[in-house]
Amino acid sequence: MGALSVNLCGIELDNPIIPASGTFGYGYEFAELYDINVLGTFSFKGTTRQPRFGNPTPRIAECTAGMINAVGLQNPGVDKVISEELPKLAKFFDKKVMANVGGFSIEEYAETCRMLDACEQVGWLEVNISCPNVHGGGMSFGTDPNGAAEVVKAVKAVTTKPVIVKLSPNVTDIVSIAKACEAAGADSISLINTLLGMRISLKTKKPIIANTMGGFSGDAIFPVALRMVYQVAGAVKIPVVGMGGVSSAEDVIEMMLAGATAVEVGAANLVNPYVCKEIIEQLPAVMDKYGVKTLGEIIGGAH
């Protein structure tokens, strides 16, 4: 194992840096800029059973130290991801990829995960439980420990690959939801998904985003994400993947001290498409500065 390598659910990563779902597409736009095989892995665009056009526009609003988006899980659907996107990806990425899965019913989550589980290129299933439950009045699965556990049980029943459950921060007690996912068989927890935010146009005096509210991400949310990663890592025995406002090698070290085994980088990719490559390059010097010999040794070091 090298100084930067970590083990996520039994799969060795050359380094802990993972571009987050929704900020890296299926990788090929970034592969035109640099060799994305330098990454630990990446989490591809959130995939649902059927194709989704996404939310009405405008979907993006700027804000201080971040952005708000309401894209709405726009994706070509799992059939096309398997038949078109994964073969295309294989031409320029030779590592296992993380498949991010969304759903609006427990059956949909299970079926999409079952299909992706059969794909050799997929190393992990990252199950986003921030989606609204159409049979449960529109509340997201991730706001209720029982709802979260039901999704995990259904997915684990039809898959063999590690299941990483991606949690929403828009809850009162994220620890109880993480523990429910662990008890239901989750192999790892990833957090945080975006916070809920909005902007109002002073010209039109109406919300900027067509959906009124959207997911708030970027540098501004880092302290909230760090706090939640610290809380969850201290409460569960399974690995934690930390994300939320990460944009530097220092942020990565801080997330790992809070308990993250690997670290996802989201909105920063939209500001600087080279950010993940630069973080990986800068990690050895930052480790040296703070007396860190291997990243594996500092996971949870702040506890």
Q: Which residues are catalytic?
A: 131
Locate the DSSP E strands across the chain. 6-8, 11-13, 17-19, 60-63, 66-69, 97-101, 122-128, 163-166, 188-191, 195-197, 214-217, 240-242, 260-265
**Own/partner long-range contacts of 169-176 (Cβ < 8 Å, ≥24 apart):** 169/193, 169/194, 169/195, 169/224, 169/225, 169/228, 169/244, 170/130, 170/140, 170/143, 170/195, 170/196, 171/142, 171/143, 174/228, 174/231, 174/232, 175/231, 175/232, 175/235, 176/145
Helix count and strand count (H, E) for the chain = 10, 13
Question: What single letter denotes the amino acid at residue 215?
Answer: G
CA-only gyration radius of the chain, Å: 18
CA–CA gap between residue 123 and residue 10 (Å, rounded):
10
